[in-house]
Amino acid sequence: MDIFAKKLKERAAQLGISNAEAARLCGLDERRYANYANDQREPDLATLVKIARTLGTSADYLLGLTDTATTDKRSRLVERLTVAASSLPDDQLATVVTQVEALALPRQKRPGKKTPV
Amino acid sequence: MDIFAKKLKERAAQLGISNAEAARLCGLDERRYANYANDQREPDLATLVKIARTLGTSADYLLGLTDTATTDKRSRLVERLTVAASSLPDDQLATVVTQVEALALPRQKRPGKKTPV
DNA sequence: GTCCATGCCGAACGTTTTGTTCGGTTTTAT
DNA sequence: ATAAAACCGAACAAAACGTTCGGCATGGAC
């Protein structure tokens, strides 16, 4: 599956992270992940799912069954944010959400009922 | 991957064919395919793709990635983050990405090969 | 009833593939 | 120049795979 290896590298590039970082995010041994990215080994299905989920993409994309390349620069930034945020512990994630939402909602005179984080 | 096995059987049922017929359609040994459908073996990635294509479905479906209900608490937090971040101007978005990535990868000061924001 | 085509399954065996470790080179930012 | 991080080839034990064999159950044909 050379396509899988290519997509793996392509995805890491989209996210602006190294393969080693992608490995860490996925909770996989760095050498092991590198074997996937270099088309020397193939993961089992559970690992494939874990990678797709962690990198915020689909198995179909990683297997070349769809070509949904994210070319938009802003979209990729948002994806990087999603991937990074997903690896945070609950409390840090909650904090980040609060802060970014504060940034996003510039000035509403009366902040209405908002779901507490 | 018990999900994969289930989806395999589910798909054959949807198509109104036996597992043996599905195996033949995919050009796979009947016993081999049965091992997949019985959750005793797993196919390599190329075979997974062949099955998905032959049965007219997606790898995401076969792997149970489609029905990712966003009912869980963390997923909703991440969704809120995505929505909020998407409304930010470019520079603020870039800043947030940098900060969250720094949080996500608690590591030494030396970043390796990484695409700059 | 007998036959046999079809679907399905467990066990076993030889082969292939994987995960991991070790050591080393290359790259990058200070 | 230095050190941290990224990256990679080789090698080996362990795990997973594909395939074969035999067996069981069902249903239609004769």
Residue A13 to residue A25: CA distance in whole angstroms: 14
Residue A4 lies in a domain: yes
Domain coverage including residue B72: 1-105
Global pTM reads: 0.85
Structural domains counted in chain B:
1
Residue A19 lies in a domain: yes
B111 or B37: which leads in pLDDT: B37
Residue B96 to residue B79: CA distance in whole angstroms: 15
User: Phi, psi at residue B42, to the nearest 5°?
Assistant: -130, 145
**Cβ distance of B85 and A78 shorter than 8 Å:** yes
Residue B90 lies in a domain: yes
Q: Which residues of A touch B93 (CB under 8 A)?
A: 74, 77-78, 81
**Cβ distance of B100 and A90 shorter than 8 Å:** no
pLDDT tens profile A39-62? 999 999 999 999 999 999 999 999
Cα A107 to Cα A79, A103, B103: the distances in Å are 26, 9, 27
A46 touches strand D (CB under 7 A): no
What string of H, E and C letters represents the secondary structure of chain A? CHHHHHHHHHHHHHHCCCHHHHHHHHCCCHHHHHHHHCCCCCCCHHHHHHHHHHCCCCHHHHCCCCCCCCCCHHHHHHHHHHHHHHCCCHHHHHHHHHHHHHHHCCCCCCCCCCCCC
Strand C footprint nucleotides (protein C-beta < 7 Å) = 6-11, 17-23, 27-30
pLDDT tens profile B59-114? 999 999 987 667 788 888 888 888 788 878 988 898 999 888 888 765 433 343 44
Sign of dihedral through CA atoms B60, B62, B64, B68? positive
Residue B110 lies in a domain: no
Beta-carbon contacts of residue A17 (< 8 Å; ≥ 6 apart)? A25, A80, A83, B114, B115
Residue B14 lies in a domain: yes
Residue A26 identity (one-letter amino acid): C
Q: What average pLDDT does chain A have?
A: 88
Residue B111 lies in a domain: no
Q: For position A106, what pLDDT does the model report?
A: 61
Residues 22-81 of chain B with CB under 7 A from strand C are 30-31, 34, 37-38, 40, 44
**Cβ distance of A65 and B59 shorter than 8 Å:** yes
**Cβ distance of B85 and A81 shorter than 8 Å:** yes
Residue B116 lies in a domain: no
B43 touches strand D (CB under 7 A): yes
Residue A113 lies in a domain: no
% helix, strand, coil for chain B, step of 5: 60, 0, 40
User: Does residue B23 have a pLDDT over 90?
Assistant: yes
CATH number, residue A21: 1.10.260.40
The residue whose two tokens read 């290519």 is A6
User: Could you tell me how many residues make up chain B?
Assistant: 117
